[in-house]
Structure formats: structure tokens, C-alpha cells
Amino acid sequence: MTLVGRGLVCSYGPTRALDGVDIVAGGGEIVAVVGPNGAGKTTLLRALSGERRPDRGDVLLDGSPVSGADPGWRGRVGLVSHRTGLYRKLTVAENLTFFAALHRISDARHAVARSLETVGVATLAKTRVEALSRGQAQRVALARSLLHDPGILFLDEPFTGLDPAAAAALESTLRARRAAGGVIILVTHELRRCLGLADRVVVLQRGHKVYDGETGSADAADLLRFFTATSSDAS
């Protein structure tokens, strides 16, 4: 399975958030997208996931164009963002059961239990989301994104506000998904973390891709210096 973004252009009014960005992510691979604020990271993720239709360019899965307008495509992707996307007044189980039903999962109760077990929060099933800590809520959000066993997982700053234990649990889950052959695209501004987790890193700056390479071969120190320089430049 290979996800390709080709020549993606997205604008917000006169501001061009993405300017002809190409990206490739294969199965069993974690691709980290990093860059300073306003680089276009989240816009790239939204274009790839189908949340936003690019002004120009295509998103292809195994060579075939995909679009957010296609319910079949939406059923194959999972999303975790820095906002949990959970209903605070519902319990964890009610939240997940609702999303499982919308994903047409036949045995929703079993899927919810399995998903909560996977991220280590099965004991919280009957707790209202408003009573959860930030780390717990983020794990539940991850469980929600895994409910329908998506082949492609998008993560938008998922480590924001997580304590070290919760961040380690999230990393562990992502490694397991990678081992299972999933495509994982991780948007973050935490370069150090992504160098330890991702297989490849893509650096964006002002809507342009300025670096794309394997983290194993990347000179982390150079990349860090580059990132720091672009951040300073942007600010």
C-alpha cells in the first residue's frame, strides 16, 4: 500500500499554504512531517486525508486517485489530532460505540473493547470524557482512530500535552501499527521525537518541501540546526 500526494497546492485566500508539495508514504512506514508554525504541515495532512480538497494536485492510493468525498476512502483512514475530537459529556464507551456504528462495524461492543485494550485504557470505558486527564483522553482518541482498523493513520500533533508515560504508550502503539503494515503520517513540530520514531522525515517551510529523507541516513544534528534556523527565520 502506497499513499502519494502529488503536486499539492492549497490556498487560504491570498495565502498559499501548500505550493506544489509531493509526498510518498509506503505501508509499514512512519513518515514525519515537520516544520515551523505556518509551514503547511496541517494543511498537507488535511489534503492527504481528504478533509480538504486541494486546489491543485492529486492524492493517490496505490496509483488510484482518492478523495474525501468518497465514503469508502473515509472508511480507510484514521485521524488523531491534538484536540481529542471526543464528546466530553459522553462516556468513553459511548463515544467509541457511536463512531464504531458510523463506521459500520458489526460487532461494535467487541471492537470498542479491543481498541481500548490496545491503547491500555480498558478500565476507563464507563468514565465520562470530561473526567479524563489529557493523556487518557488522547489515548481514547487513538483508540477511536483504530476502531475500524484503518490502513492509513494521520496524526496531527498527537503528543501535545502528553506526559512521558502517555507519549511512550502512543509511540508503542504507532510502532505496532507500523509492524502491521499500516501507513502512518505524523505531523509534529517535535523533531527530536520524530527522529526516534519515524522512518522518514519531510520538512516543510512556507508551503514548500525543503527536505525529504530517511531518518536513519539523516544527519540529525544538521537537521536540527536546519529546523532551528527555519523556525527562527519564520518567526
Partner 1 sequence: MSELRRAWLITRKDLRLEFRTGGRLLSMIAFVVLAGFLFAFALDHNLVPGRDVAAALIWLVILFASTAGAGRIFDAEEEEGAFRHLLLTPVSRPAVFLGKTMANLIVIWLVTALTFISLTAFLDVRDQGSLTAHAAVLLPGTIGLAATGTFFGRMSRHSSLGDTLLPVLTFPLLVPVIYLGATSTARVLLERPWTEISGSVRLLWAFAVGSVFIGAALFRHLTDE
Report which DSSP code applies to 233: H
Cα dist from 145 to 94, 112, 139, 171, 192, whole Å: 15, 11, 10, 15, 25
- Using rule CB under 8 A, residue 49 touches partner 1: yes
Q: Which of 48, 129, 53, 123 is nearest to 88 (CA)?
A: 129
Applying CB under 8 A, among 56, 65, 88, 192 the residue interacting with partner 1 is 88
Tell me whether strands 64-65 and 183-187 are parallel, antiparallel or unpaired: unpaired
C-alpha to C-alpha distance for 35 and 173, rounded to whole angstroms: 24
Closest separation in Å from C-beta 103 to partner 1: 6
Size of site (CB under 8 A) for partner 1? 32
Residue carrying the nine cell digits 494543511: 43
Q: By the 8 A CB rule, do 44 and 119 touch?
A: no
- Using rule CB under 8 A, residue 72 touches partner 1: yes
Applying CB under 8 A, among 2, 102, 222, 233 the residue interacting with partner 1 is 102
C-alpha to C-alpha distance for 201 and 223, rounded to whole angstroms: 10
Q: Which stretch binds partner 1 (CB under 8 A): 33-41, 74-82, 203-211, 226-234?
A: 74-82
161 φ, ψ to 5°?
Answer: 80, 5
- Using rule CB under 8 A, residue 56 touches partner 1: no
How many residues comprise the chain? 235
Applying CB under 8 A, among 144, 178, 189, 200 the residue interacting with partner 1 is 144
Applying CB under 8 A, among 9, 11, 27, 51 the residue interacting with partner 1 is 51
Applying CB under 8 A, among 5, 34, 35, 99 the residue interacting with partner 1 is 99
Applying CB under 8 A, among 104, 109, 175, 192 the residue interacting with partner 1 is 104
Closest separation in Å from C-beta 219 to partner 1: 36
Which residue ranges make up the site for partner 1 (CB under 8 A)?
A: 46, 49-53, 68-69, 71-72, 74-75, 77, 79, 81, 83-90, 94, 98-99, 101-104, 129, 144
